[in-house]
Amino acid sequence: MNKFIITEQEKSRILNMHKKSTSRHYLKEQVTGDTLDGQTIVELIVKKGSIGSSVKLSNGKTYTYTTEDVTTFPQMVYSGWCGPGTYTADQLPQGCSATVTLGTNLRFECDKQGCKKVDDIE
């Protein structure tokens, strides 16, 4: 007999996702097969209040912060440590970064050194 064993942490994550999703009348599972590892910022546009901000990465894709609804994928969730303005890769201030969310469990922090996957979104 095969047993399927999950950790308490995974069990809690699944139950939390289910509770949140059923209260909103939808359920989205993890997006798989898409990655931004190693991509770098080519251009970052930061708007006051964040809505409308966008980041263009070295793979040619642009992600925009269009909504407060973090269940809309893919999108740029926020930009950090930059004032409003347009920055190219060579002008990007130290600590200036963008977070791109591709799915419920796929979030990348991107800067001029590259994009790295960060921990799960709560």
Closest C-alpha to 105, from 32, 40, 25: 32
Give the mean pLDDT of 8-17. Answer: 75
pLDDT exceeds 60 at position 103: yes
pLDDT at 121: 45
**Rounded to whole angstroms, how far apart are CA atoms 56 and 41?**
6
Give the mean pLDDT of 85-103. Answer: 87
What residue spans define the domains of the chain? Answer: 31-118
Select, from the ranges 19-23, 76-80, 97-101, the one with the highest average predicted confidence (pLDDT): 97-101
Tokens representing residue 109 in the block: 């922090």
Give the mean pLDDT of 26-35. Answer: 48
| Mean confidence (pLDDT) of the chain | 76
Residues 44-92 pLDDT 10s:
998 887 788 899 999 999 988 887 666 677 778 666 678 889 999 888 8
Region of 45 (left: φ > 0; alpha: ψ -120 to 50; beta: rest) is beta
